[in-house]
Amino acid sequence: LAAFGASAALSQTALAQTVGFSQIGSESGWRAAETTLTKQQAEERGITLKFSDAQQKQENQIAAIRSFIAQGVDAILLAPVVATGWDSVLKEAKDAEIPVVLLDRQVDSDKSLYLTAVGSDLVHEGEVAGQWLVDHVAGKECRVVELQGTTGSSPAIDRKTGFEKAIAGHDNVKIVRSQTGDFTRAQGKEVMESFLQAEGRGQNICALYAHNDDMAVGAIQAIKEAGLKPGDDILVVSIDGVPDIFKAIAAGEANATVELTPNMAGPAFDALKAYMDDGTVPPKFIQTDSKLYTKADDPEGEYERRKNLGY
């Protein structure tokens, strides 16, 4: 038993190493929660985490990865702000034999250039949001405005694809305006103001589909300032499941959200440990699940459960 204890301790120390984390930034509450949970997980596992906030700039992420390679870290976590432009820096990490694990977004690079990707089925999230709206309007005419995530990011591309898949074949539901709000509350509010202006002070808008809750929360402010009732005059459906969207749903100011877990680091560290301890190669995609929440799903309770998770 002592021997087992010793080897277990040994394998634990085998990952008690240094991991570099190139984080996109803190553009949304969800992103802040992912950072909080990643730091907590590293702490619990005795991992030294070198953290870099790229302020949503890809060049900063590439520089951070190069710095991690130069420091000789044992592994790299990367939440890639956009899907393209990673080939050369991922090749440099591979040449340095440093495994890279992607968090919450995907890259267009060849899959041989990273160990695995932890994330949700982003297309499915868009489909769930679209299906909720199709069911909710039940055949009635519904002109939709769309707040897209960061241009060129895999969630912005895939959540649009999924939503359009769900509404295809339902001619009563159509997207009439679509623009990026860069996943932030401020830009979500700003772009929603322009949508309201362009659509008869909002009279011609039936619903808002926002690629994340933060843009929806910003847009809700704009809808109220235009004298309309969000969640009623204009339906609001978005993705992430941050505390403030549950507060809005409880208040009847939003209608539905698709939850995305901020705990991507847990599966990532587990895969890295198995790989570094005994060479276990993980699948290329470790999928987290998505769940729809509406007013019927105890939004007050969901707010309470999430409010202290670091969003």
- Binding residues (CB under 6 A) for ligand GYE: these are 27-28, 30-31, 104-105, 155, 183, 212, 214, 239-240, 260
> SS3 for 152?
coil
Measured between alpha carbons, how far is 251 from 253 in angstroms, rounded to an integer? 5
In the complex, the smallest distance separating the C-beta of residue 211 from ligand GYE, rounded to whole angstroms, is 7
Backbone angles phi, psi at 192, to 5 degrees: -65, -40
In the complex, the smallest distance separating the C-beta of residue 287 from ligand GYE, rounded to whole angstroms, is 13
Q: Which is nearer to ligand GYE, 103 or 142 (CB)?
A: 103
Cβ within 8 Å of residue 257, ≥6 positions away: 213, 216, 237, 238, 239, 240, 241, 245, 246, 249, 292, 293
In the complex, the smallest distance separating the C-beta of residue 31 from ligand GYE, rounded to whole angstroms, is 5
In the complex, the smallest distance separating the C-beta of residue 153 from ligand GYE, rounded to whole angstroms, is 7
Place of tokens 């001619």: 171
Q: Which is nearer to ligand GYE, 15 or 81 (CB)?
A: 81
Q: Which is nearer to ligand GYE, 23 or 41 (CB)?
A: 23
Measured between alpha carbons, how far is 49 from 21 in angstroms, rounded to an integer? 7
In the complex, the smallest distance separating the C-beta of residue 142 from ligand GYE, rounded to whole angstroms, is 23
Measured between alpha carbons, how far is 273 from 107 in angstroms, rounded to an integer? 23
Order of strands across the sheet that contains 290-294: 173-180, 142-148, 207-210, 235-240, 256-260, 290-294
| One-letter amino acid for residue 298 of the chain | D
Q: Which is nearer to ligand GYE, 123 or 196 (CB)?
A: 123
In the complex, the smallest distance separating the C-beta of residue 214 from ligand GYE, rounded to whole angstroms, is 6
Q: Which is nearer to ligand GYE, 31 or 45 (CB)?
A: 31
Q: Which is nearer to ligand GYE, 189 or 273 (CB)?
A: 189
Instruction: Give the H or E element holding residue 300.
Output: helix 299-306
Compute the CA torsion angle 251, 255, 258, 263 (nearest 10 deg). -10
